[in-house]
Amino acid sequence: MSKMKQLLVTLVILICTSVVCGQTSYKTLTDLPYYPQEEPSDYIEDRCKLDLYYPENKTGFATVVWFHGGGLTGGSKEIPSALTEKGIAVIGVNYRLSPKVKVKDCIADAAAAVAWTFQHIPEYGGDSTLIFVSGHSAGGYLASMVGMDKSWLANWEIDADKIAGLIPFSGHTITHFTARQEMGIAGTQPIIDELAPLYHVRADAPPLLLITGDRELEMLGRYEENAYMMRMMRVAGHQDTRIMEMDGYGHGMTHPAFPLLLNEISRIAQDKKRLSSEN
């Protein structure tokens, strides 16, 4: 091969390993506080932080705010590996935990993290109209509460209906058992009050995709309460509520469910693009 041909081959290789060939690089920022710095609590300063994983050389991307599970009493923030290198941003959130705080404080933290996302993701190239809220178990419960009860985000002057989609994994739709424990009610005694996503069913909520494990393997009727949520959302007039049951998987059903989350993001993003082109 001539020196000229060798040079051309080298140039092609260099180009094809660059952004020109569509390769995307990703960056992770850790322990970003999502409350204003003047918040006085040491526990807020210690716990209320998030990690941001995002594509560096891309704009207009969707973002998933991901809340970890753990019964609102344990767990820590994570960037699920199944969501990495998919052209989207992922935000893993830590929130305060019971019994140091009440369940309402956990929800307040979740809302503050979602508000931070609306306020700041455009700075990193993200599309604030494509913010999805998700999480597993207790995290799924927090996702639903922030999206269904509009008062939590209203505290930050944000309309919860601006969320592009709610995608809770195996989350309570009745009142969370940790909230019931605070009231002296057994976890086997279901109730529905203001701390239940079911209490806030409404026709104008964001698109809602409920994902649970197998009804025979899930914990304490988790599939059935999600199925009831789906039914009551439709009765209320909501046009985009669906439920998916992961046959053969129990409560820890995240791995097979992540592709469903990604498909939902793609579906809603494509619908948004189509509507934008029509207008």
- Is the pLDDT at 88 greater than 80, yes or no? yes
Distance CA 254, CA 64 (A): 15
**Average pLDDT over the chain, rounded to whole?**
92
Distance CA 169, CA 166 (A): 10
Give Cα 87 distance to the centre of its chain: 16
Asked whether residue 153 is domain-assigned, the answer is yes
Asked whether residue 211 is domain-assigned, the answer is yes
Asked whether residue 11 is domain-assigned, the answer is no
Q: Domain holding 214: CATH number? A: 3.40.50.1820
- The pLDDT assigned to 277 comes to 79
Asked whether residue 218 is domain-assigned, the answer is yes
Distance CA 95, CA 107 (A): 9
5-14, 75-84, 220-229, 251-260: segment of lowest average pLDDT: 5-14
Angle at 259 between CA 229 and CA 249, to 5 degrees: 65
For 253, the token pair is 């059903």
Q: Across-strand partners of 271?
A: none
Average pLDDT over residues 70-85: 98
- Is the pLDDT at 75 greater than 90, yes or no? yes
Asked whether residue 9 is domain-assigned, the answer is no
- Is the pLDDT at 12 greater than 50, yes or no? no
For residue 27, the tally of other CB atoms under 10 A from its CB is 12
- Report helix, strand or coil for 21: helix
Asked whether residue 111 is domain-assigned, the answer is yes
> Per-residue confidence at 18, pLDDT binned at 50, 70, 90?
very low
User: Nearest-CA neighbor of 209 among 268, 128, 269, 139?
Assistant: 268
Asked whether residue 18 is domain-assigned, the answer is no
Q: Which one has a higher pLDDT value, 11 or 43?
A: 43
Distance CA 86, CA 269 (A): 14
What backbone phi and psi angles, to 5 degrees, belong to 131?
A: -100, 120
- The pLDDT assigned to 5 comes to 45
Distance CA 22, CA 33 (A): 32
Asked whether residue 5 is domain-assigned, the answer is no
Non-local (6+) Cβ contacts of 194 within 8 A are 149
Q: What percentage of residues in the chain have a pLDDT greater than 90?
A: 86
Please tell me the total count of domains within the chain: 1
Domain, as residue range, for 55: 23-278
- Report helix, strand or coil for 124: helix
Cβ atoms of residues 114 and 131 within 8 Å:
yes
> Per-residue confidence at 22, pLDDT binned at 50, 70, 90?
low
* Structure confidence by residue, pLDDT tens digits, 151-203: 999 999 999 999 999 999 999 999 999 999 999 999 899 999 999 999 999 99
- The pLDDT assigned to 62 comes to 98
Cβ atoms of residues 169 and 254 within 8 Å:
yes
- The pLDDT assigned to 133 comes to 99
Q: What percentage of residues in the chain have a pLDDT greater than 70?
A: 91
Non-local (6+) Cβ contacts of 7 within 8 A are none
Cβ atoms of residues 168 and 210 within 8 Å:
yes
> Per-residue confidence at 11, pLDDT binned at 50, 70, 90?
very low
